[in-house]
Amino acid sequence: MCSPKSMSWIMIPLILGFFIGSILVRVQVDVPTGVTTFNPTGSKGSALVVYHPGLSDFQEDVTRAFIEGLVEAGWRCDLTTASRRTPEKLDDYDLLVLGAPTYEWRPASPVKRYVERLGDLGGIPTALILTGGGSTARAASLFVELVQVANGTVIEMLEIWQGAPNEELHGIPDPLVIARRAGAELVLP
């Protein structure tokens, strides 16, 4: 017979493992949403912005701040999340923006799957927004590689941290100011 004390030594790691495992699965599941258009009369060009919302609001807030910058610069933007419902026809767009949180040193899988479904990006200028706790270097190079292999032209790789000082990368601390500035200053090749 197991004593209650020895039972708890078995149960605690099991419960912890189940909890961690369910988070690891949950963050990688597609979150389908509709398409929201910002600045429909924007004359600079049309951007398709596709992101994966994380557990917190961080990725969405950063992505929306980037859109504010694009709109400020005159872009029309369609915003949606990465799923099987995401538009896959890029002919109507001049710019693709992909936003992904970092999970286990990789960009979130729903965004990766979306790019793989697109197949050939036809050279479209692509801006990447990668959020993370503070360790994003490996995910950033995988993100760039993912898009380049699919024949996209990476014009921006924006790493923004939730749990480490952003001054190190950007000279200013506020993630939303960084994202908005990057959107406003984005230059096409």
Ligand X SMILES: Cc1cc2nc3c(=O)[nH]c(=O)nc-3n(C[C@H](O)[C@H](O)[C@H](O)COP(=O)(O)O)c2cc1C
Contact indicator for 100, 18 with CB cutoff of 8 Å: no
With respect to ligand X, which residue has the nearer C-beta, 104 or 185?
104
Q: Is 56 in the site for ligand X (CB under 6 A)?
A: yes
Q: Is 86 in the site for ligand X (CB under 6 A)?
A: no
| Tokens standing for residue 17 | 């493992």
With respect to ligand X, which residue has the nearer C-beta, 80 or 162?
162
Among 103, 109, 118, 143, which residue interacts with ligand X (rule: CB under 6 A)?
A: 103
Q: Is 137 in the site for ligand X (CB under 6 A)?
A: no
With respect to ligand X, which residue has the nearer C-beta, 124 or 129?
129
Chain positions 18 to 37 lying near ligand X, rule: CB under 6 A, are: 23-24, 27
**How many whole angstroms from its chain centre is CA 118?**
16
**Where does this chain touch ligand X (CB under 6 A) — which range of 8-16, 49-57, 63-71, 112-120?**
49-57
What residues have CB less than 8 Å from 21, skipping those under 6 apart? none
Q: Is 133 in the site for ligand X (CB under 6 A)?
A: yes
| Tokens standing for residue 110 | 């729903």
Counting every residue written for the chain, the total comes to: 189
Contact indicator for 52, 111 with CB cutoff of 8 Å: yes
Among 37, 84, 105, 148, which residue interacts with ligand X (rule: CB under 6 A)?
A: 105
**Where does this chain touch ligand X (CB under 6 A) — which range of 41-49, 79-87, 102-110, 180-188?**
102-110
Nearest to 108 by CA among 33, 51, 179, 164: 51
Q: Given the structure tokens 């005159």, which residue do they identify?
A: 74
How many angstroms separate the CA atoms of 108 and 136, rounded? 12
Instruction: Please give the residue ranges that form the binding site for ligand X (CB under 6 A).
Output: 23-24, 27, 54-56, 58-59, 101-105, 131-136, 162
